[in-house]
Amino acid sequence: MDSLRREAQSDAGLEVDDLLETWRLLDIEERLEAFMDLPRDQAEDFFLELSAREEYELIHAMPAGQRRSWMRLLPPDDAADVVQESEDSEREELLGLLDDPTRREVRALLAYAEDDAGGLMNPRYARVRPDVSVDEAISYLRRQARATLESVYYIYAVEADQRLAGVVSFRDLFSAAPGKTIRDLMVTDLVTARDDTDQEELGRMFAQHDLQAIPVVDGEGHMKGIVTVDDIVDVIQEEATEDIQKIGGTEALAAPYLETGFTSLLSKRVLWLAVLFLGEMITASAMGRFEDELGRALVLGLFIPLIISSGGNSGSQASTLVIRAMALGEVTLGDWWRVVRREVMQGLIMGLLLGVLGFARIEIWQQLFHTYGEHSLLIATTVGLSVMGVVTFGTVSGSMLPFLLRRVGLDPASASAPFVATLVDVMGIVLYFSVASLVLRGTLL
């Protein structure tokens, strides 16, 4: 019997997951209809699996009379996320659906920026006074557990004035002698976040310290709530996705790729492409200055794509490495000198290797097919030296631009790519024709 019941339940569980996938392909009216067709308990499990955006859209779409029980199903931090997703004009109505104490908590959460610890934290956590005994604490927590707690992994010892005094893990509380006090057990060497700590920093704190939850305190050390690691997993995924999309030359998407509307996707891509395009137009002007040289030595034109792309590739490689190291907190502004020394050497060596490759390619083709005429050695020298210069320049400027951008308060991830691309392309052309006019003077030029 029992195992049959379990199997039935387990099947239902699998259905919810499968359902979620097909459900996400529907438009909002179909979504609501399918949702309302579910048995209540399954619908509740389903609802709690959704993103804040999807929860909001369902609530927004359903008849007003049915909204309350769904809003009240959510813990305060999730309810606040749903309210964040709503239009300003709907906020008060949604808040009105909550019970009074929860509404107060949600309002307090809404006062924080969405990306800060204050906006991510849950105001319900396991708290005791430092001077109660282990047995008292356990029986107190047994009474409080269902009503108030999201996470019972840590118990926070909070003084009468709401200052955070220490933390006891559940494991320690559980295994301690019954008569000891919380103060005897608690760890006071705490990792805490401020309510204005941003979520990227929070992600780093969790990754570094391997904690299940981090308490959030205000400037005076008063306990405000906790951020749990399961909420941070989403945040870390999101932050990485944003950086990847920005590095790829898109504004960060607000929703998954397939769920982003066509025009919304278009507007987030076309803007950066247009900025890059306008930047690259400078290359046409730069080339214009060398039209005479090009006319006298047409062969130079053949290698322009190679020169340009070598600079662009080395630049985007270096800037990506530095941007990610900055996002992980591995490299800070103060490290710029260490990075520049390293990148000058890396750039020179890579430039040398690619330069030799370029030189060899031209000479080998010349031997095989006599492609480049009597001055092939000089052409190969021009290309080799230019590649070396442009790779070095690309590497160094690619690694330094994220520092400059962060220094002036811009996001290195979103602005580095276009700057590096334009800078390196224009420099590449100028360098190439300058080297050519030195090497080929008196022969081709």
CB of 87 to its own copies, least distance (A): 26
> Is the distance from CB of 70 to CB of 40 less than 8 angstroms?
no
Least distance (Å) from its own copies to the CB of residue 116? 19
Choose between 16 and 62: whose C-beta lies nearer to its own copies: 16
The answer to whether the CB of 272 falls within 8 A of the CB of 412 is no
Between 95 and 155, whose beta carbon lies closer to its own copies? 155
Nearest to its own copies of 62, 349 (CB atom): 349
Helix axes 376-407, 336-369, angle to 10 degrees: 160
Assign 3-class secondary structure to the chain: CHHHHHHHHHHHHHHHHHHHHHHCCCCHHHHHHHHHHCCHHHHHHHHHHCCHHHHHHHHHHCCHHHHHHHHHHCCHHHHHHHHHHCCHHHHHHHHHCCCHHHHHHHHHHHCCCCCEHHHHCECCCCEECCCCEHHHHHHHHHHHHHHHCCCCCEEEEECCCCEEEEEEEHHHHHHCCCCCEHHHHCECCCCCEECCCEHHHHHHHHHHHCCCEEEEECCCCEEEEEEEHHHHHHHHHHHHHHHHHHHCCCCCCCCCHHHCCHHHHHHHHHHHHHHHHHHHHHHHHHHHCCHHHHHHCHHHHHHHHHHHHHHHHHHHHHHHHHHHHHHCCCCCHHHHHHHHHHHHHHHHHHHHHHHHHHHHHHHHHHHHHCCCCCCHHHHHHHHHHHHHHHHHHHHHHHHHHHHHHHHCCCCHHHHHHHHHHHHHHHHHHHHHHHHHHHHCCCCCC
Asked if 273 and 249 touch (Cβ cutoff 8 Å), the reply is yes
- Taking the complex as a whole, how short is the minimal distance between the CB of residue 80 and its own copies, in angstroms? 16
Distance CA 310, CA 327 (A): 26
